[in-house]
Amino acid sequence: MVDNKINILKHSSHGLGGLIGISEDEITQIWHDFLSYHYGTLSKEAIEHRYANKFVMGKLALTSPFIMQRFRRTNKDKQLKPFNFVIVGIGHKIDPSTKEPIIPLLAYTKDTDIVPFTRFTDYKTGKEYTDNTKFYWKQLAEFLFAYADHNDGKYDGKLGELKRKQVVINDIEHIGKESNNLEESEVIGVSDNDYVVYDNKTEQKIADVIKSMTTKDARHIGLSKRHLFRLKKKVKQGKGIVLKKKTINKLKYTMRFNA
């Protein structure tokens, strides 16, 4: 900041790059506005007014059958197909029946200005919303203030050049491959179905079950004969076993496995 004028030499879109409907020039302006807000030359009300008609939305590919099922009622003519794109909002209104955030979801369009006024499907329940849809989309200003006020857990300090925190490792846990779906988690948020945590005790129990499992048992929980033999080979070689959460839940009930 020179002579009370802010000159941004380089900006980052980290945390904002996944949003659609916002250009690089607008991201530069966002940095300028919030630095001005920090130094007291621009009010919060002025920023809220500037972004009053901007809403938070992301772009997501239909790579999950779960998301496809959400469109089963509105997609009867099969316009949406696997790997097509959809637009997703951030949940900030609560569904009174489920007590869960309502997450707007609709087919992708380049005209993002009409999105908040278009009927949508709730990502979590599949319920359709057609009235006052604008109020279910989070305003960009609200999102930006939360972003600006969020403390960075990786650094010590709040102003100036921050120092990286010193990390001490107490234990190591393995997580299942469900956590690889980072793109969806970044847009929708992380849920219990996004990852499975394995400790050494759990891994040993899984290995013991796989050792004694028959092809009939495997078929009952959705494992193919080939997959079962592959898992048995891994157990024999002492390699780690990673199963989907739904498979582990079936193991709990069908094989009396207690994680």
pLDDT, greater one: 151 or 186: 151
| Token duo for residue 242 | 């990673």
Note if the pTM is more than 0.85: no
* 184: pLDDT strictly greater than 70: no
pLDDT tens by residue, 148-176? 777 767 778 777 777 888 877 776 555 55
DSSP line for 185-244:
HHHH---GGG--EE-HHHHHHHHHHHHH--HHHHHHTT--HHHHHHHHHHHHHT------
Percent of the chain at pLDDT > 70 equals: 72
N- to C-terminal Cα distance for the chain? 56
pLDDT tens for each residue of 63-111: 777 677 777 666 666 677 777 888 988 888 999 998 888 999 888 888 9
CA proximity to 115, closest of 90, 94, 93: 90
